[in-house]
Amino acid sequence: MHDSQGRIVKWFGTATDIDIVKQADAELRTINQTLEKRVAERTAIADMRTKQRQKLTVELIEAEEKERRRIAQLLHDDLQQMPASAKLQLETATDHTSDDPALENVGKILKASIAKARRTAHELSPPVPRHAGLLDGLKWLVSLFKEQFDLRVHLELKRQHIENEPLKIFQSETGELPAVSVIHGRNRRSSCTPAVCGCCSSMTMP
């Protein structure tokens, strides 16, 4: 307050308690920090579970692959040898001179069964994608479709770094593709996107 000459005659002041505001402020900061920490923790758990799941999938695929190889080996080394041996013995016995159509037919059946066993063993344990990258694997698959089913497959790549995708999972997915193509038939255009690498590639089968 000033007098008529402008001199101070009295000071007047107030002090406001803003403790509640400060406390709320501090509390809010703590809550935010806790929240960030919780989000980080949950994210870490989710990441860990994803990795575990991926590891399990790979293990499962490896087990399946091992079993496929075992059966393929059994076919090739054991079962396939029987008709081969029978064919050899038949040839020795008839000395390529018999005109008996029944024996000739047996020979044809034995030859066909050898071929079938060999093809089945090969399909059970495909040689290509085991060591190649995903891109090579997909290309191999395209050629396989052309060769086996006379299907033209259009390979469309949407991402550049597909080489890093887990190859094991790719193998598992592509293992099912021939079956899918048979179901969809030859004349229908169908698109098949493997689940694991769905974001990076798609295969269209006309």
Partner 1 sequence: MQAEALLKQGEAQFRQLADTMPQLVWTADPNGQVDYYNRRHKAYDGIAHMPDGTQQWHPVLHQDDETPTRNAWMHAVRTGEIYTTSSTGLDSPTAATIGT
Burial of 123 (0-12, 13-18, 19+ CB in 10 A): middle
Shortest Å, Cβ 56 to partner 1: 56
Shortest Å, Cβ 5 to partner 1: 12
CA distance 79 to 88: 15
17 sits near partner 1 (criterion: CB under 8 A): yes
Name the nearest CA neighbour of 137 among 179, 171, 160: 171
187 sits near partner 1 (criterion: CB under 8 A): no
Q: What is the DSSP letter of 201?
A: E
Stretch that binds partner 1, among 10-18, 79-87, 132-140, 194-202 (CB under 8 A): 10-18
Stretch that binds partner 1, among 18-26, 32-40, 152-160, 180-188 (CB under 8 A): 18-26
Q: What is the DSSP letter of 198?
A: T
Phi, psi of 157 (to 5 degrees): -105, 125
| 21 vs 88 by CB, closer to partner 1 | 21
Shortest Å, Cβ 30 to partner 1: 17
Which one of residues 13, 101, 127, 185 is an interface residue with partner 1 (CB under 8 A)?
13
∠ Cα 191 197 201 (to 5°): 50
| 8 vs 183 by CB, closer to partner 1 | 8
In DSSP terms, which residues pair with 204 in a beta bridge? Answer: 154, 191
55 sits near partner 1 (criterion: CB under 8 A): no
Stretch that binds partner 1, among 1-9, 36-44, 91-99, 197-205 (CB under 8 A): 1-9
99 sits near partner 1 (criterion: CB under 8 A): no
The alpha carbons of the chain give a radius of gyration, in whole angstroms, of 36
Give how far the C-alpha of residue 161 lies from the chain's centroid of Cα atoms, to the nearest Å: 15
SS3 95: coil
Which one of residues 4, 10, 96, 195 is an interface residue with partner 1 (CB under 8 A)?
10
Query: Which residues contribute to the site for partner 1 (CB under 8 A)?
Result: 1, 7-19, 22
